[in-house]
Amino acid sequence: MELDQRVRWVVYDVTMREGAPPLASQLATLLDMPLDDVRASLQRLASARMLVMQEGEILMAGPFSAVPTPFRVTTSEFSCYGNCIWDALGIAAMLQSDVEITTSCGDCGAAMRVAVRGGVVAGDGLMHFALPARQWWQDVVFT
């Protein structure tokens, strides 16, 4: 398997089991590779829009966030964070799992809950996407 494919596979293997992307040093240990080689691979993956990096570490392994966000996703195995509501729903789809999403209204700040059960989304409110999907990567951290 090509190096970048191996790195990506391990990133998502860890992320889908633990709920957050691994640190570069953890990847180097798991892959038994020099840290510089892992970081170079992560940068190539980021250039291909497969990951988002920040200061040499994975910030986003879509749909998962490495840092807390307003979109907490709780599964039967762990709690994690989506980068946005779209990604929070994407975690349920990716894991093929029922989830509870805890977030807040982007307009008034009221607490909101969204549930996914058997692939069906239920909850009150409206999901608003400020930009069309084709523009998200212009500033993916902001959007």
Asked whether residue 142 carries a pLDDT value surpassing 80, the answer given is no
| Distance from C-alpha of 62 to C-alpha of 58, rounded to nearest angstrom | 10
Question: Which residue did the predictor score with more confidence, 34 or 140?
Answer: 34
Residue 132: band (very low, low, confident or very high) from pLDDT cuts 50, 70, 90: confident
pLDDT digits (tens, 9 = 90+) for 103-112: 998 788 889 9
CA distance 50 to 41: 11
pTM score, whole prediction: 0.87
| Integer CA distances (angstroms), 12 to 5, 16, 20, 66, 81, in order | 11, 6, 9, 12, 14
Residue 8 structure tokens: 């990506």
| CA proximity to 75, closest of 129, 24, 15, 22 | 15
Q: Report yes or no: 86 and 130 within 8 Å, Cβ to Cβ.
A: no
Sketch out the chain's domains with CATH numbers.
Answer: 3-61 (1.10.10), 72-138 (no CATH)
**Average pLDDT value for residue range 115-142:** 77
Q: Label residue 43 exposed, middle or buried (CB < 10 Å: 0-12, 13-18, 19+).
A: middle
Q: Write phi, then psi, for 103 (nearest 5 degrees).
A: -150, -165
Q: How do beta strands 79-81 and 57-61 pair?
A: unpaired
